[in-house]
């Protein structure tokens, strides 16, 4: 919140209300009228902003890739109007995951388990906060809090200005592959002691009758079925929001409230990253190589193997939990599920 907003509750509410009205406004179109306002809106100044670049692309004969992205945007908008009812208003803190590059006029909403470490590295390199090859930036540095500014750090007026003038991008992934990847990374591998300690012990305590004292103390052997039961347990989200590694992408990035110009996908990471970097005018920057095809197939196999052992009842409930991510981003229900 801006400083002007905090002294009195009523005033604070009014400030927030003004901001949220704008945040909640209909997604703005890439129209020429809007384009005229960019000059003052974009802090970068001289060259065409990434949003103007996208507008140019949409006016001319579209490349196949530009057409794919236009269709994804349209599908997202249609799915939003079909599947979302009146939603609560957003406050700045809801925008914590939207990272800001003022030098280029770029907003990137990060979804963990969707190449977000590499995107943070690229943003650090783009913004001049780190030099040289993005891959050389250590992961812990890319994730260090405050290393990259977030929209939540700005006042409502400053947030709205950026939302209007910047290119907004998010990257998503098939929801169950993402979930399987989060489980493997945070529970099934021996080196994620912090997650096992924080969440693993809680899961064992709550969901495993007659647990071994060692498991209660370390939370190191959580099974996939237990992890899913924890996600579906109503107490879990009553206590606190889901951890960002398994929170739904729509709940992290609010794609039906903010207007996203590019919906990138993990499944086509290399092409989509190059598309964004082209709009940003940083084609020379190399996005760290995405996993080779074989690893992509391995992620699919892992999800299939893990979910096959889950009862249809739980599969269905889990699909319901992640349904919006499937619908908004055009993923179909995996064929290995027994939903009917
Ligand atoms: C949605 O998914 C279907 C099936 O995979 C595909 O044929 C279609 O092109 C996709 N639509 C968009 C807009 O991405």
**Encoded tokens for 122:** 């690229």
pLDDT, tens digit (0-9, with 9 covering 90-100), for 125-173:
988 888 778 888 888 888 888 889 999 999 999 999 999 999 999 999 9
Task: Say if residue 42's pLDDT is above 90.
Answer: no
Token look-up 């998503």 returns 172
Confidence of residue 287 (pLDDT cuts 50, 70, 90): confident
> Which residue owns the Cα nearest ligand 1 atom 10?
330
Q: Label residue 219 left, alpha or beta by phi (over 0 means left) and psi (-120 to 50 means alpha).
A: left
**Encoded tokens for 269:** 């990471």
Could you write out the three-class secondary structure of 9-39?
A: HHHHHHHHHHHHHHHCCCCCCCCHHHHHCHH
Tell me how crowded residue 92 is: count the other CB atoms within 10 A of its CB.
22
Per DSSP, which regions of the chain are E strands? 98-101, 106-109, 167-172, 262-265
Minimum-distance ligand 1 atom for the alpha carbon of 330: 1
Task: Say if residue 200's pLDDT is above 80.
Answer: yes
* Model pTM score: 0.86
Compute the distance from residue 66 Cα to the ligand 1 centre, in Å: 14
Token look-up 């060259």 returns 47
Residues 292-309 have a mean pLDDT of 86
Compute the distance from residue 86 Cα to the ligand 1 centre, in Å: 27
Minimum-distance ligand 1 atom for the alpha carbon of 331: 2
pLDDT, tens digit (0-9, with 9 covering 90-100), for 55-66:
988 888 878 899
Q: What percent of the chain has pLDDT over 90?
A: 63
Q: 3-state DSSP helix/strand/coil percent for the chain, to nearest 5?
A: 55, 5, 35
**Rounded distance, CA 205 to CA 214, Å?**
11
The helix (run of H) or strand (run of E) holding residue 150 is none
Per DSSP, which regions of 124-219 are E strands? 167-172
Tell me the average pLDDT of the chain.
85
Q: Which of 64, 75, 77, 330 should be mutated for ligand 1, with most atoms under 8 A from CB?
A: 330
Confidence of residue 44 (pLDDT cuts 50, 70, 90): low
**Rounded distance, CA 143 to CA 145, Å?**
6
Strands 262-265 and 167-172, sheet pairing:
parallel
Helix H segments across 24-145?
32-36, 38-41, 50-59, 64-83, 116-126, 139-143
Residues 271-285 have a mean pLDDT of 91
Q: What percent of the chain has pLDDT over 70?
A: 85
Compute the distance from residue 245 Cα to the ligand 1 centre, in Å: 26
Q: Are 171 and 264 in contact (CB under 8 A)?
A: yes
**Rounded distance, CA 84 to CA 251, Å?**
12
**Surface-to-core class of residue 311, CB atoms within 10 Å of its CB (0-12 exposed, 13-18 middle, 19+ buried):** exposed
Q: Are 187 and 222 in contact (CB under 8 A)?
A: yes
Nearest to 232 by CA among 315, 311, 318: 318
Give the residues surrounding ligand 1 with Cβ less than 6 Å away.
71-72, 75, 330
Give 212's contacts (C-beta < 8 A, 6+ positions apart).
none
> Which residue owns the Cα nearest ligand 1 atom 7?
330
Task: Say if residue 227's pLDDT is above 80.
Answer: yes
Minimum-distance ligand 1 atom for the alpha carbon of 71: 13
Compute the distance from residue 315 Cα to the ligand 1 centre, in Å: 23
Higher local confidence (pLDDT), 63 or 38:
63
Compute the distance from residue 330 Cα to the ligand 1 centre, in Å: 6
**Rounded distance, CA 30 to CA 59, Å?**
10
**Rounded distance, CA 200 to CA 181, Å?**
16
Confidence of residue 46 (pLDDT cuts 50, 70, 90): low
Asked whether the CA dihedral 165, 134, 186, 270 is positive or negative, the reply is positive
> Which residue owns the Cα nearest ligand 1 atom 8?
330
Confidence of residue 235 (pLDDT cuts 50, 70, 90): very high
């Amino acid at each position: 919140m801006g400083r002007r907003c905090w002294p009195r509750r009523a005033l604070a509410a009014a400030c927030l209300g003004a901001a949220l009205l704008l945040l909640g406004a209909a997604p703005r179109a890439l129209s020429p009228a809007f384009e005229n306002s960019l000059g003052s809106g974009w802090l970068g100044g001289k060259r065409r902003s990434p949003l103007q670049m996208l507008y140019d692309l949409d006016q001319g004969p579209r490349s196949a890739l530009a057409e794919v992205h236009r269709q994804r945007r349209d599908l997202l908008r249609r799915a939003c109007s079909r599947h979302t009812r009146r939603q609560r208003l957003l406050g700045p803190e809801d925008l914590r995951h939207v990272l800001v590059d003022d030098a280029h006029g770029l907003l990137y909403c990060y979804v963990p388990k969707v190449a977000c470490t590499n995107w943070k590295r690229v943003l650090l390199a783009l913004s001049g906060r780190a030099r040289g090859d993005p891959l050389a930036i250590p992961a812990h540095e890319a994730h260090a809090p405050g290393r990259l500014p977030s929209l939540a750090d700005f006042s409502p007026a400053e947030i709205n200005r950026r939302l209007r003038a910047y290119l907004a991008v998010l990257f998503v992934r098939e929801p169950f592959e993402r979930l399987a990847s989060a489980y493997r990374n945070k529970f099934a591998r021996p080196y994620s002691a912090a997650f096992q300690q924080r969440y693993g012990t809680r899961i064992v305590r709550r969901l495993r009758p007659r647990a071994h004292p060692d498991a209660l103390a370390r939370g190191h052997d959580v099974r996939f079925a237990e992890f899913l039961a924890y996600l579906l347990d109503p107490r879990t989200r009553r206590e606190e929001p889901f951890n960002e590694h398994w929170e739904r992408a729509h709940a992290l990035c609010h794609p039906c409230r903010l207007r996203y110009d590019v919906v990138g996908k993990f499944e086509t990471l290399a092409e989509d990253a190059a598309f964004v970097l082209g709009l940003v005018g940083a084609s020379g920057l190399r996005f760290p190589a995405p996993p080779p095809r074989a690893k992509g197939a391995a992620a699919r196999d892992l999800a299939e193997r893990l979910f096959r052992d889950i009862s249809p009842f739980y599969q269905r409930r889990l699909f319901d939990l992640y349904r919006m991510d499937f619908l908004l981003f055009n993923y179909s229900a995996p064929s290995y599920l027994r939903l009917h």
